[in-house]
């Protein structure tokens, strides 16, 4: 029986269709009911917690009971106020310690990465990949936008070579559409969602993970043992991974696809 639903944010929970950007009321009501029955339903995102909350405000979506948790920056575990008094103190303490260790690891890695950024970007541009902009977040990742998904795939492979040459054995490189990211291998959506389930005493098969892009791969490729699914607008490469893992590929897009995945998995409404 599914006890945890963890979903990506942009283009999985939020439908970003121009002119009709929204999170459906039907999805919110469904997730609120799941939480009221004792489940955990939350967001697993590269965004920080504050950005997720701001998006809810901008879309005029109430905060609580859903989401009951947010995994932010693919690294940090946050429990929402709506459930925090029901979480065992041991789990809260372990989550705080996990966050402290992750922040330290990421800061050290990003500090080292700063010495290589100019050379790496110059070599990527020499390979004919247009880099629009780049970011270095001390508590998250080194990121840059390529001009398209195909260029991003090429840049990911180049970055893997650069990281190996520079001795970054701790680095994990992936893409979210055309955004290429170097994160710490201790993080990543799959690892942190698995840690979240462990803190609450749930097994991987009690977790439904949902996503749309290649930075969701670590929680949807079957390696963590989750029930995995992607929404109808998912990256074709991710759909292939989900299918290979025996997961579910929804037909509906964004939040409607999440609802479809929940119903296929037999999660009932109130």
Domain closes at, from 159, 184, 209? 184
Co-location of 146 and 254 in the same domain: no
Q: Residue 269 falls within a domain, yes or no?
A: no
pLDDT digits (tens, 9 = 90+) for 150-193: 999 999 999 999 999 999 999 999 999 999 999 999 999 999 99
Q: Taking residues 219-237, what's their average pLDDT?
A: 97
Quote the pLDDT of residue 270.
46
Q: Which domain CATH number covers 249?
A: 3.40.50.1000
Task: List, in order, residues 6 or more apart from 129 with CB less than 8 Å away.
Answer: 146, 147, 151, 154, 155
What is the domain range of residue 32? 4-96+187-264
| pTM confidence score | 0.94
Co-location of 178 and 193 in the same domain: no
φ/ψ of 209, rounded to 5, equals -110, 135
Q: Residue 63 falls within a domain, yes or no?
A: yes
The secondary structure of residue 120, as a DSSP letter, is: H
C-beta separation of 78 from 71 below 8 A:
yes
pLDDT digits (tens, 9 = 90+) for 16-75: 999 888 999 999 999 999 999 999 999 999 999 999 999 999 999 999 899 999 999 999
Quote the pLDDT of residue 19.
86
Give the chain's domain count.
2
Domain closes at, from 118, 151, 184? 184
Q: Which residue has the tokens 């795939």?
A: 153
Q: Residue 249 falls within a domain, yes or no?
A: yes
DSSP string, 127-139: TT-----EEE-TT
Co-location of 44 and 17 in the same domain: yes
């Amino acid at each position: 029986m599914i006890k945890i639903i963890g979903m990506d944010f942009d283009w999985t929970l939020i439908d970003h269709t121009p002119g009709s950007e929204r999170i459906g009321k039907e999805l919110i009501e469904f997730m609120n009911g799941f939480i009221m029955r004792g489940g955990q339903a939350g967001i697993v995102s590269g965004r920080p917690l504050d950005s997720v909350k701001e998006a809810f405000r901008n879309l005029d979506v109430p905060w609580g009971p859903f989401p009951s948790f947010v995994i932010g920056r693919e690294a940090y575990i946050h429990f929402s106020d709506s459930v925090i008094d029901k979480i065992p103190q041991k789990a809260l303490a372990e989550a705080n310690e996990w966050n402290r260790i992750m922040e330290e690891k990421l800061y050290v890695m990003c500090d080292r990465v700063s010495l290589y950024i100019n050379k790496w970007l110059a070599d990527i541009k020499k390979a004919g990949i247009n880099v629009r902009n780049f970011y270095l977040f001390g508590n998250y990742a080194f990121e840059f936008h390529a001009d398209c998904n195909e260029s991003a795939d090429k840049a990911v492979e180049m970055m893997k070579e650069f990281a190996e040459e520079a001795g970054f054995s701790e680095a994990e490189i992936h893409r979210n559409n055309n955004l290429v990211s170097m994160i710490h291998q201790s993080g990543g959506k799959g690892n942190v969602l698995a840690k979240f389930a462990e803190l609450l005493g749930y097994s991987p098969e009690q977790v439904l993970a949902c996503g749309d892009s290649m930075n969701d791969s670590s929680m949807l490729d079957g390696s963590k043992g989750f029930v995995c699914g992607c929404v109808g607008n998912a990256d074709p490469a991710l759909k292939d991974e989900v299918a290979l893992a025996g997961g579910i590929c929804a037909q509906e897009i964004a939040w409607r696809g999440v609802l479809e995945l929940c119903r296929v998995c037999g999660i009932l409404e109130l």
